[in-house]
Amino acid sequence: MSAASSILLSNGTVLLHDEEDHVTPVRADILIIGNKIAEIAPSISPPSPSPDAVDIDCTGKIISPGFVDTHHHLWQTQLKGRHADDLLLDYMYKGNIVFSLFKPEDVFWGQLGGCMEAIDGGTTMVVDHAHINHSADHSESALSATVASGIRSYFCYCPVPQTRAASWAPFKFETSSSSVPDWAATQLADLAAKQPFGNGRVRLGVGFDAYYLPQDVVISIFQNARSAGVKLFTSHYVRNALMGQHSLVNLLDSYGLLKDDILLSHANQALPEDAIQLIAEHAHVSSTPDTELQMAHGAPVCFRPDLHKIASLGVDCHSNNSGDMLTQMRLALQSARGTRNQQFVARGKQPRTVHPTAEQAFNLGTIMGARAVGMGAEIGSLRVGKLADLVIFDGESPGMVCAAAHDPVAAIVLHASVRDIETVIVDGRIRKFGGKLCAVEVENATEVGWPEVAAKLLHSRRRLQEMIETADMDGAREGIIKLFHIDPNNIVEHVA
Ligand SMILES: [Zn+2]
């Protein structure tokens, strides 16, 4: 949909955060001018007539802040559906390393599909750990798809590319990169100088997992990027038998790199001293309940008392699970409740109260996500002067009716599905309307709608699948075990 000079949302139930993050539903109008929320009031008169002003009747609708997804690999769309019964090791050799087979064109459609699925589900801001950095062209394709989609994003460029397959049958990895390749250093510096992209929507971050490199190399990568203006650094951190028991927080601290621009995805089994250090430096974590619960990362930490304050939520792999934040809020909430309740049940007792609350889950998906990316003053709640990132739910759908009238936050966290999301506005632009994704503008100002994107994705998937079927996947599994120094004795069928 083309840009409107103003958008008036009339008579909706607006979810407003107060200073303590308590959410109150208020019957109100919202006026959007340009890319900002200009006014929230009981009754707003339409601004002076303009042919491109939009007025949306929101009677019976809930208007929520857009969701903030703080950990996602947006390129993986063609790999959807292949990890239903997989663990982390299986995901790495069956899915993630297939990135070596992606051409820049596959990346473009995969990334666009990932962004559009996110928007469809009400995500307006996403931290993309963009580890599809096979070549400069691959990252260029990924970034241009993000810009085209209309989503707001931190595009976290990976200056040390993942190790690629050199041959698939027999399977062999290339030698791991011992530093930042020249082309990646040049591209990172170039993107840092040119950012932001897409009228300010897309900022450059850094995705970094190459902590095996010498200390001075790691430090210089962070220092160079910080001096070039990069404001967000994201790394995977999982402490378990597969990924190792070391403390990444301690390493970052000992290198002098732990600051408020650090966002660690997962942090399962983070040490108590990790939590103390992360909170002291105002760093943040992103829990991704779907992948963490399935793939044996460990329990999600987003409601852990020592980490909750700096937590947020992410989708991680839409190749493995749905790309919407409704699912992540609900899974995080109910798994935390289940774990707590079981402690009472196992002792022959019943809890007096349920904990955590639906509102806490909602906040993890909105305002706390915004703070995790250093944008708490700009997005994550509905307030005059903030950027216009909003989601409009149909409060009278079969799923939400009555729940929305009684408790709109509960309706979103426990009753809503992507189907109930009628309209999504990012940066003052309508990207989903009437329950359907709007067309996006790709190269040469060509507009493509979702059916065309789906056709491109299916074509690309077929090509990739034909190559995957001839690959030596047992060899790939062994290759991953060696590359990550995994002790096979720790992978067992039963525990006593
Ligand atoms: Zn990840």
Residue pair 71/125 in contact by the 8 Å Cβ criterion: no
Same domain, 113 and 22: no
Q: What is the distance in A from the centroid of ligand 1 to the CA of 316?
A: 5
Ligand 1 centroid to Cα of residue 73, in Å, is: 6
177/162 Cα distance (integer angstroms)? 8
Instruction: List the pLDDT tens digit at each of the 496 positions of the chain.
Output: 678 889 999 999 999 999 999 999 999 999 999 999 999 999 999 877 787 899 999 999 999 999 999 999 999 999 999 999 999 999 999 988 888 899 999 999 999 999 999 999 999 999 999 999 999 999 999 999 999 999 999 999 999 998 889 999 999 998 877 789 999 999 999 999 999 999 999 999 999 999 999 999 999 999 999 999 999 999 999 999 999 999 999 999 999 999 999 999 999 999 999 999 999 999 999 999 999 999 999 999 999 999 999 999 999 999 999 999 999 999 999 999 999 999 999 999 999 999 999 999 999 999 999 999 999 999 999 999 999 999 999 999 999 999 999 999 999 999 999 999 999 999 999 999 999 999 999 988 899 999 999 999 999 999 999 999 999 999 999 999 999 999 999 999 998 7
The answer on 57 and 87 residing in a single domain is no
**Does 486 map to a domain?**
no
Q: How much distance in Å is there from the Cα of 408 to the middle of ligand 1?
A: 31
Ligand 1 centre to CA of 48 (Å) is: 47
- How far is the centre of ligand 1, averaged over its atoms, from the C-alpha of 335 (Å)? 20
Answer whether 208's CB lies under 8 Å from 159's CB: yes
Centre of ligand 1 from the C-alpha of residue 347, in Å: 36
Asked if residue 314 lies in contact with residue 332, where contact means CB atoms within 8 angstroms, the answer is no
Please tell me the distance between residue 467's alpha carbon and the centre of ligand 1 in angstroms. Answer: 24
User: Is 453 a member of any domain?
Assistant: no
> In angstroms, what is the span from residue 323 Cα to ligand 1's centroid?
13
Kindly tell me the sign of the dihedral angle through the C-alpha atoms of 457, 458, 459, 461: positive
Same domain, 39 and 102: no
Cα(367) to centroid of ligand 1, in Å? 21
pLDDT at 52: 86
Give me the pLDDT at residue 446, please: 93
**SS3 assignment for 22-43:** CEEEEEEEEEEECCEEEEEECC
Query: How far is ligand 1, taken at its centre, from the CA of residue 124, in Å?
Result: 19
Q: How far is the CA of 265 from the centre of ligand 1 (A)?
A: 7
Q: Which domain holds residue 84?
A: 67-372
Q: How many angstroms does the Cα of residue 326 sit away from the middle of ligand 1?
A: 18
**Are the C-beta atoms of 316 and 265 separated by less than 8 Å?**
yes
- The residues, ordered by sequence, that sit 6+ positions from 136 with a Cβ below 8 Å of its Cβ are 183, 184, 186, 187
Co-location of 400 and 284 in the same domain: no
Strands (E), 149-299: 152-157, 165-168, 171-173, 202-207, 233-238, 262-268, 284-286
261 part of a folded domain: yes
Q: Is residue 492 part of a domain?
A: no
Is 75 inside a domain boundary?
yes
Q: Is residue 23 part of a domain?
A: yes
My answer on whether 295 and 396 are in the same domain is no
**Ligand 1 center to 236 CA (angstroms):** 6
Number of structural domains in the chain: 2
Report CA(1)–ligand 1 centroid distance (Å): 32
**What's residue 223's pLDDT?**
98
155: nearest Cα among 122, 180, 187, 120: 187
The residue among 316, 350, 372 that closes a domain is 372
Residues 296 and 419 in one domain: no
CA–CA distance, 323 with 116 (Å, rounded to integer): 10
**Nearest C-alpha neighbor of 70 from the set 150, 154, 191:** 154
Residue 187 Cα to ligand 1 middle (Å): 22
How far apart are alpha carbons 250 and 274 in whole angstroms? 7
* Cβ neighbours of residue 433 closer than 8 Å, sequence gap 6 or more: 1, 422, 423
Domain-ending residue, one of 441, 464, 491:
441
| Residue in the block written with tokens 């399935």 | 294
Q: Last residue of some domain: 426, 441, 456?
A: 441
Give residue 175's pLDDT.
Answer: 84
Q: Residue 182: exposed, middle, or buried by beta-carbon count in 10 A (0-12, 13-18, 19+)?
A: exposed
- Separation of CA 317 and ligand 1 centre (Å): 7
CA of 6 to the centre of ligand 1 (A): 37
Residue 150 contacts residue 426 (beta carbons within 8 Å): yes
Shared domain for 284 and 412, answered yes or no, is no
**Residue 422 sits in a domain of what CATH number?**
2.30.40.10
- The single-letter code of the amino acid at 409 is V
Q: Do 16 and 117 sit in the same domain of this protein?
A: no
Give the whole-angstrom CA distance, residue 98 versus residue 330.
Answer: 30
Q: Is residue 222 part of a domain?
A: yes
**pLDDT value for 392:** 98
Structural domain contains residue 452: no
288 in the same domain as 170: yes
The beta strands (E) that lie in 94-224 are given as: 123-130, 152-157, 165-168, 171-173, 202-207
- Distance from Cα 354 to the centre of ligand 1, integer Å: 30
Same domain, 177 and 83: yes
